[in-house]
Structure formats: structure tokens, C-alpha cells
Structure 1
Amino acid sequence: MSATQIHTTNQLDEQEARWFAVYTAYKREKLVSKRLADRSIEAYLPLLEYTRRYERKVRSVELPLISGYIFVKITRKEYVPVLETPDVVNFVKFARNLIAIPESEIKIIQRIVGEVSDVEVRTNEFCEGDEVEIIGGKLTGLRGKLLEGQENKNLLIELTHTGLSLRMYIAPGLLMKVQPSGLGRR
């Protein structure tokens, strides 16, 4: 797909709501999400639950998957109200163009938030740089590249339209090596 095709198919539309990434003020993602909901603007903030141990107690906290980002599904008429929302810094743009994020990439993020495992990959089955596909669980069909680091246990998933790469741990039984030419749907 050429750059002009991406630009014309992904810009703001008058009637069809599309996903866009928005920068938020530091540590204000949850507050921005609530404020957008109060304005009846569809927003998605991917959160992961972490357990924090303190001296006298253990607490679960939800932190954003991607710090400083929130995703909004808007039409052209909702563009300005999003920017007017307190603690919204700006839309994420590429070369000064507002580029929509495909629904499929938002679904990938939703699947990642629903299932990320700290189980380690057996190092004798995979090598650094291997292209793998997840064959079980909520992330079935997702493809990525096995990264170097921590004995080759990291999987890199690239979301091309957001310009982000996500690194996660995947259970070894859920991975299958694929041929590099088959890596069309990362």
C-alpha cells in the first residue's frame, strides 16, 4: 500500500469513526480516559494489572500498557473536543498527518492485555531472530520475532500503524516457528 493510499484511507472521516492515538500528560491516562467518557467519546486505555508489595500489605494496581498513550475512536466532529479535553497533549501524527489505526491493531492490543504470560520459552527450541506464531490462547495467530535478551525469551510484536513494538513473554507451548516469508500479519 502506498503512502497516498494510507493517507486517504486513514484520515478523519465525517461519518465513520476511526481509531487514533493520543498523547496524554504524564501519568494522566486514566483521568483522560474518564474525561473522554464523560464527553461521550469512545476511548480505550489498555491496562495491565501488577502486584505491588509494600512493607505491610500487597496491592494490585493497574498501569497503562503504553505510558502516555490513549486510543480514541472518533469522527471529524469529535477531533476538537478531544483536543480540548484537559491533559490531552496532542494526537500522534506521522509527518504531520493524522493516521488512523486499523481496528485489527486495536484488537491485537486488547488481546495482549488479556493474556501476557511470564512463563519462559525453552531456549533449545528457538533461536534469536526466529519468526514465530502464537498457536494457543487469546493471542492465537499473532506473529512476531523472537528477540535477543534474557536467553531468547522475548517476543517482539510490531504494530505498524502505531509505530510501536511490544515485547512480552509467551509460554513455550504456545509458540510455533514459522517461515520468514509467512510473516504477513504481525
Structure 2
Amino acid sequence: MNRMNWYVVYTKPKWEKKVAEKLNEIGIECYCPIITQIKQWSDRKKKVEIPLFNSYVFVKLPDMDRNSVFQVSGVVRYLFWLGKAAIVRNEEITAIKENLSNTNISDVCILPYKKGDKIKLETGVFSSQDAVVQEVTNTHYILVLESLGCLLKIKYKKDTL
């Protein structure tokens, strides 16, 4: 039996959505987390959908089929962690999906990885998740997703605290 894992594919800059679309077309399960941001120009504001992780797309496939992603234009390489292709746990993909669908979240951005303390969260939307907490305030908290080597900053709307 060949186990299916989530891997992180590194793409050309600004190619995340195109790569995810093409991977789906050739039958590779993938996930490109998208967030909506309001961009301000001098004459207008506009809602735009952008990838949560710049140049990253998650793919779920057996280890022996990993090279199949290189059929798609825009795929650069796999993300490596400690000398091996980074494997993202199903629980982390689920946590990203659930938290992006949470309507109480008003702003999400990714910050560079910094070391913090390892904890197991006991309450809230990250209940039972292993994480490294970088910061907790009245308006936001920052959690490290270790397998990606980055921080997830979640900011709450003031009226939901």
C-alpha cells in the first residue's frame, strides 16, 4: 500500500492559482489556500483573492508519484525540511481550511519563522493541535506550523473578542 502524503510544492512567484488549477486538471489533489484582502489604490479599493502562502501549493499524492507535479508549468521544486521533502500532516491542512472558513477572522498574513515554545492547544478552533506560540494578545495570536517552517498570524475582529 502506498501512503498518500501532503507535500509542499514551491511555484514561480504569482503562479500559485495557475499551478493548482493545472494540477487538478491532470488529476493531482492539491490545495492552494486563498484569502480575500482589500487593496487600496489611489482612486479605489478592491477586494482581491490572493494565496495565503506565497509560492506554495499543497499536493496530496503517494511518494512514488512525486515527480508527476513537474509536468505542470510553474512548479519549481518541493519544499524541504531537515533534508527531506516537507510532509504536512492532514490535521494541519484541516486546521488551515477550517480557520480560513471562520467568518470571525478579519485578517491573515504569514510572517517569517521564529522559534517559540511547543504547546498543545486545549480550546478554540485549534483545539488538540500541536503548535508553537509566538505571541498572544487581545487582538491576535500567532501559531507556528512546524512542518512549513512559518508563522500563521490570526487577527480577530474587535466585536468578536
TM range (shorter): 0.7 to 0.9
Q: Which residue of 2 aligns with 1:147?
A: 135
2:142 is aligned, of 126, 141, 156, to 156
> What amino acid is the match of 2:90?
E
Q: Quick check: 21-30 or 77-86, which moved more? A: 77-86
Q: Which residue of 2 aligns with 1:108?
A: 95
Give unpaired runs (5+ residues) of structure 2. 108-116
1:165 aligns with 2:151: yes
Q: Which residue of 2 aligns with 1:69?
A: 56
Partners of 1:23 and 1:154 in 2: how far apart?
Answer: 28
8 Å CA contact retained: 1:153, 1:169: yes
Matched ranges for 1:24-173 at <5 A = 24-54=11-41, 58-115=45-102, 117-118=105-106, 135=123, 139=125, 141=127, 145=133, 147=135, 153-170=139-156
Partners of 1:98 and 1:53 in 2: how far apart?
Answer: 38
Q: What is the Cα deviation at residue 31 of structure 1? A: 0.5
Classify the secondary structure of the residue corresponding to 2:97.
Answer: helix
Partners of 2:144 and 2:86 in 1: how far apart?
Answer: 17
CA RMSD of aligned residues (A): 3.2
Deviation by residue 1:90-125 (Cα, 9 ceiling, x = unmatched): 111123312321100111111221125249xxxxxx
1:18 aligns with 2:2: no
Q: What is the Cα deviation at residue 78 of structure 1? A: 2.5
Change (3 A) 1:82 1:132: closer
Question: Which structure is higher in strand share?
Answer: 2
Classify the secondary structure of the residue corresponding to 1:66.
Answer: coil
| TM-score, structure 2 as length reference | 0.75
> What amino acid is the match of 1:86?
S
Q: What is the Cα deviation at residue 43 of structure 1? A: 0.5
Give unpaired runs (5+ residues) of structure 1. 1-13, 120-128, 176-186
8 Å CA contact retained: 2:9, 2:79: yes
Change (3 A) 1:59 1:174: closer
Partners of 1:161 and 1:16 in 2: how far apart?
Answer: 18
8 Å CA contact retained: 1:65, 1:113: no
Q: What is the Cα deviation at residue 145 of structure 1? A: 3.3
8 Å CA contact retained: 1:159, 1:165: yes
